[in-house]
């Protein structure tokens, strides 16, 4: 199996682990906030990886930089718009979002390098 096919599965596994840990640690009252944080984080990461693969072929550093900026803006927008507008508990929502984004950032070099050829 190619690394590019494993990355979406890795993102979903990380999301499931973060959700499980978040629900166990935060309790039942924060379950909706944890679920929304994990869903937003996973959706953003999968969307970004698709866009980076199409928009930045062969430019891994540029894709990584744009991804970091996008993640920062997502966290800011979630803290200032999503959480207040939805009435979700801020701590579980934002902690789960940031944890998913941080953990999936580790997979990014694998995803960005999957479409490049190795020169020997």
Kindly report, residue by residue over 69-110, the tens digit of the pLDDT. 999 999 999 999 999 999 999 999 999 999 999 999 887 777
Is 85 a domain residue? yes
For the segment 21-80, what is each residue's pLDDT rounded down to a tens digit? 999 998 777 899 999 999 999 999 999 888 887 888 878 788 888 889 999 999 999 999
What is the rounded CA–CA span in Å between residue 34 and residue 29?
10
What is the rounded CA–CA span in Å between residue 67 and residue 95?
19
- Provide the domain count of the chain: 1
Is 73 a domain residue? yes
| DSSP state string for 35-87 | HHHHHHHHHHHHHHHHHHHHH-TT-HHHHHHHHHHHHHHHHHHIIIIIHHHHT
Is 62 a domain residue? yes
Full-model pTM = 0.85
Choose the weakest-confidence range: 1-5, 10-14, 100-104.
Answer: 1-5
What is the rounded CA–CA span in Å between residue 77 and residue 20?
25
Is 118 a domain residue? no
Structure-block tokens of residue 34? 């944890």
Reported confidence tier of residue 115, pLDDT bands at 50, 70, 90:
low
Predicted pLDDT of residue 112: 65
* Residue numbers of the domain that contains 10: 3-113
């Amino acid at each position: 199996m190619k690394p590019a096919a494993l990355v979406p599965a890795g993102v979903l596994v990380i999301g499931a682990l973060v959700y499980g840990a978040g629900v166990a640690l935060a309790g039942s009252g924060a379950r909706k906030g944890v679920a929304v944080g994990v869903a937003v984080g996973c959706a953003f990461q999968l969307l970004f990886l698709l866009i980076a693969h199409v928009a930045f072929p062969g430019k891994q550093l540029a894709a990584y930089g744009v991804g970091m900026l996008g993640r920062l803006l997502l966290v800011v927008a979630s803290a200032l718009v999503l959480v207040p507008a939805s009435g979700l508990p801020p701590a579980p929502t934002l902690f789960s979002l940031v944890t998913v984004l941080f953990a999936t950032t580790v997979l990014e070099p694998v995803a960005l390098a999957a479409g490049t050829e190795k020169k020997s």
